[in-house]
With several copies, the nearest count.
Chain A
Amino acid sequence: MGFVTAEPIELAPLIAAVQAPERGGVASFLGLVRNHHGGRAVLRLEYSAYAPMAEAECARIVAEAEGRWQVSVALRHRVGSLAVGDVAVAAAAASAHREAAFAACRYVIEEVKRRVPIWKREFHADGTEVWVDPTATLQHA
């Protein structure tokens, strides 16, 4: 199964995919659609991806985490129309050592935000809509 999906993301199957009898710690992260951003009320988001590159980049990130720590990692990112509270991204990392599980999970989420070609269009309660630009820090004040 791919890393990028148009289906709702459930955490349990990701955890099930990484856990094993010798791996006692599973750290996970869910990124959910918030009801506000940059001081504006958000109704929903439309996520789009450069799908083949997003798949390749997610695969590279997972491989890096599994190479750097003794972990097994699962990762999903959703695309399409998401409502407030929906899961946009989920990652799980299982290890014999909880430090490695936390570090790998954190690494994967940070790298996804930094490197995976995904964009989101934000639909506001006031009828406006905008492509979200995390590099435009002023709009986030």
Chain B
Amino acid sequence: MPASITPSLTVRVLLFASYADALGAESVSLTLPSPATLATVVEHLRALPGGEQLPAKPLCARNLAHAAADEPVAAGDEIAILPPLAGG
């Protein structure tokens, strides 16, 4: 494999409530260097227009479960970044 090609990974990220408002979208597609973690996803999201309104360490979910920022992400994962929960 030629050394000049960095492996990359495309993931779809779901956004909700105030974060969807901030980025003006309910989902975004991100191309990340591989390997990547949820922290990488957040970092790339925060570089998008409006993304600076997201905190550095938001709640994250992967495949319908809460997930820590250092969890790796893989192609096909359902990733979501969650504003402060307000159920109940």
Contacts and interface: CB of A to CB of B under 8 A. Distances in A.
Interface residues of B, number: 17
Contacts of B64: 52-53, 56-57
Given A53-B80, A131-B17, A131-B18, A119 B85 contact: yes
Contact of A117 (B16, B18, B21, B88): B16
Interface of B: 14, 16-18, 21, 61, 64-66, 80, 82-88
Interface of A: 31, 47-50, 52-54, 56-57, 77, 88-89, 109, 112-121, 131-136
26 contacts: A48-B17, A49-B87, A50-B16, A50-B80, A52-B64, A53-B64, A53-B65, A53-B80, A77-B87, A88-B87, A112-B87, A113-B88, A116-B85, A116-B87, A117-B61, A117-B80, A117-B87, A118-B85, A118-B87, A119-B18, A119-B86, A120-B87, A133-B83, A133-B86, A134-B85, A135-B84
